[in-house]
Structure 1
Amino acid sequence: MAYALLRPFLFSLDPERAHEITLSILDKAHKARSLGLLYDQPVLPVECMGLQFSNPVGLAAGLDKNGDYIDALAELGFGFIEVGTVTPKPQHGNEKPRMFRIKQANAIINRMGFNNLGVDHLIHNIQNCQYQGNIGINIGKNAVTPVENAADDYVYCLERVYPHASYITINISSPNTKNLRDLQSGTALTQLLDTIVNKHQQLATSYGFYVPLVLKVAPDLEEAQVDFIAQQLLDFEIDGLIATNTTLSRIGVEDLPYGNETGGLSGRPIIHSSTQILAQFAERLGDQVALIGVGGIDKADGAVRKIKAGATLVQLYSGLVYSGPSLVRHCVDAIGDYYQLQEEL
């Protein structure tokens, strides 16, 4: 109800400004939770990557890049929260405006460019938050770092975040950092994973505990690329895969206002392509790699589609903008109903 009243005001603002105001309002509501503005935790326990989740519906990376609002966002009922993408050094990202609503399609185009305050700021926030659930940390490279030196940035972030993360996501699929997606292919991916996995093993030994490693991929993959990435995941024993990031496709928005802005498209138009990629990976990986489905979920049945395609967990972002925070509970309930039906069959 509160979001339904706020939405017309928020949609009258620049999308990035509305994003900032929404998080500020949420933070204030969290700090005054006696007003009853926030949500109960929906419970649907699930195990994934050796971790226990209170429910399978999480927050995707990008909404809280710096971990400034973890406790407030947790009040919306998420089963886990992924923060970032974070880079070694702070960076401003791309020039504004860099986020565009396509209201007719429940979609967003963004070209943010990993704007964040740096990995140390993120770690400080995680150390000072009260949230007891699983926190994924999504890591990337700085825009000024040449792609051939990308491994240096990922290793730096990996070393810094390792003791503070429930799992760590390697983001090589954002379309908004030049040449980043080149890391999804051929020897570039093999060399990157080899470097990261070696460092990961050293960290696990040094700290005496294991933090799962996850790869996030794009929806714009050919089947041969899916084959290659799937084999790399198996060869390097990567724990999880997030399918998918935003798309460069403009199918479904090409004739709409802002539909041809550059950047990554998210929201309802990518539900089919992102779920198709998820299913292709599920077919190749079986239960050897945990799958997290994200992309286009703005209704509860979208979450169920991801589970049917092979995901154990799902994540939300753009759908929250259009459907509001009640989407979290609706998705948890729908997944629970689906599981119950499967048990009865």
Structure 2
Amino acid sequence: MYPFVFRHVFTRMDPETAHHAAMLVIRALGVWPLRPLVRAMTRPDTRLRTEALGLVFDSPFGIAAGFDKDATATAGIYALGFGHVEVGTVTAIPQDGNPRPRLFRFVADRALVNRMGFNNAGAAAAAARLRTARRRAGTLVLGANIGKSRVVDVAAATEDYVASTREVAAVADYLVVNVSSPNTPGLRGLQAVETLRPLLTAVRDAAGTTPLLVKIAPDLADDEVDAIARLAVDLGLAGLVATNTTISRAGLTTPAETVDAAGAGGLSGAPLRARALEVLRIVRAAVPAEFCIIAAGGVETADDVRERLAAGATIVQGYTGFIYRGPFWARQINRELAKR
């Protein structure tokens, strides 16, 4: 049913408009009495419970940041069977993001390109919604992904991240510092170790007991990945997210004119799989066994999840696969994982 709807309805809609329409449905699924009814059909097998970050995840598979930017649909996402939701990216200062259109489908590659630009209502608004979500979403683990406000100069980025941390750390189960989105000018420059160390130190101190992770780009050189992983361990961070979207367009089957028309932005989905897996292996080789790695990028099937876990991931995230696989994507993956 969903492939028909996707092909004949969603592909005829602007991708961002289609996303907002889907979010309305997902939000409705999080409301009583639909939430427990849907969850009864999607609840992960108890054998999939995973311990990480001092938390218990119902499943090792969750939804990555970017899908629920403002923490408005966490209960509905929980109802659909995901083991955790990472909301955001949120910024200290509310912002509209980049001009539309800013989201594009490459259907032939099962990929998306986005240059959303951290459109969100701000960290304070996200914190208020997370407080409500904690009451509604049962055993769902809630992470919060924070980024730099666009109007804040890169030189003042640390204070900006700390401001977001003070809003959301107390109401999130874990916190992720996003310095790897390609859609905020100057942001990826913060991944340089000499710049990243004081930023992460300040956020770590502001986060208190909330586990802190950092999210990196797949476009870093291998030695840069290794250096950031070792820095995260040295600073006592709880983990690392590997990876964000890529600026590469290598190997796409989508026609070049379509790719060029979409323009700049981060590519996610199946084309990212190989590099994201490489980065995961580099990080795992550089960190202790107990260090948490959240693997993301090109994850679409249960086999993809198994592959990431076998390569050293602690838990796994997806996003673009939700667009192409439909509302029961998490249930399908969980059931296939439980079979083995």
1:343 alignment partner in structure 2: none
Determine which of 196, 201, 211 is the counterpart of 1:194.
201
CA distance in 2 between partners of 1:37 and 1:168 (Å): 28
2:281 alignment partner in structure 1: 279
Distance 1:5 1:187, change over 3 A: same
Distance 1:54 1:141, change over 3 A: same
CA distance in 2 between partners of 1:34 and 1:216 (Å): 31
TM-aligned CA deviation for residue 188 of structure 1: 0.5
* Contact 1:59–1:80 (8 Å) recurs in 2: yes
CA deviation profile, 1:27-53 (whole Å, cap 9, x unmatched) = 234446289666421131110011111
1:289 alignment partner in structure 2: 291
Distance 1:252 1:58, change over 3 A: same
* Contact 1:105–1:252 (8 Å) recurs in 2: no
* Contact 2:61–2:317 (8 Å) recurs in 1: yes
CA deviation profile, 1:177-202 (whole Å, cap 9, x unmatched) = 001011111311112122222333xx
TM-aligned CA deviation for residue 254 of structure 1: 6.8
1:19 alignment partner in structure 2: 19
* Contact 1:172–1:217 (8 Å) recurs in 2: yes
Listed as ranges, the gaps of 5+ residues in structure 2 are none
Listed as ranges, the gaps of 5+ residues in structure 1 are 205-209, 339-345
TM-aligned CA deviation for residue 78 of structure 1: 0.7
1:220 alignment partner in structure 2: 219
2:121 matched to 1:117?
A: yes
TM-aligned CA deviation for residue 255 of structure 1: 5.1
* Contact 1:101–1:258 (8 Å) recurs in 2: no
1:250 alignment partner in structure 2: 249
* Contact 2:127–2:171 (8 Å) recurs in 1: yes
**C-alpha root-mean-square deviation of aligned residues, in Å?**
1.8
TM-aligned CA deviation for residue 136 of structure 1: 0.1
TM-aligned CA deviation for residue 288 of structure 1: 3.9
CA distance in 2 between partners of 1:267 and 1:330 (Å): 18
- SS of 1:258's partner is helix
User: What letter is aligned with 2:52?
Assistant: C
1:157 alignment partner in structure 2: 164
2:137 alignment partner in structure 1: 131
* Contact 2:294–2:315 (8 Å) recurs in 1: yes
CA distance in 2 between partners of 1:88 and 1:213 (Å): 17
1:325 alignment partner in structure 2: 327
CA distance in 2 between partners of 1:188 and 1:319 (Å): 33
TM-aligned CA deviation for residue 125 of structure 1: 1.2
CA deviation profile, 1:285-342 (whole Å, cap 9, x unmatched) = 141420111111122211111111110100110011001132212322344445xxxx
2:185 alignment partner in structure 1: 178
TM-score (norm 1): 0.91
Matches within 5 A, 1:306-345: 306-338=308-340
Number of residue pairs the alignment of both structures matches: 329
* Contact 1:292–1:314 (8 Å) recurs in 2: yes
Distance 1:157 1:30, change over 3 A: closer
* Contact 1:84–1:139 (8 Å) recurs in 2: yes
* Contact 1:233–1:289 (8 Å) recurs in 2: no
User: What letter is aligned with 1:220?
Assistant: D
* Contact 1:292–1:315 (8 Å) recurs in 2: yes
* Contact 1:300–1:327 (8 Å) recurs in 2: no
User: What letter is aligned with 2:137?
Assistant: Y
Determine which of 95, 102, 107 is the counterpart of 2:99.
95
CA distance in 2 between partners of 1:335 and 1:52 (Å): 17
TM-aligned CA deviation for residue 89 of structure 1: 1.1
Give the fraction of aligned pairs with identical amino acids, expressed as a percent.
Answer: 36
- SS of 1:238's partner is coil
CA distance in 1 between partners of 2:113 and 2:150 (Å): 19
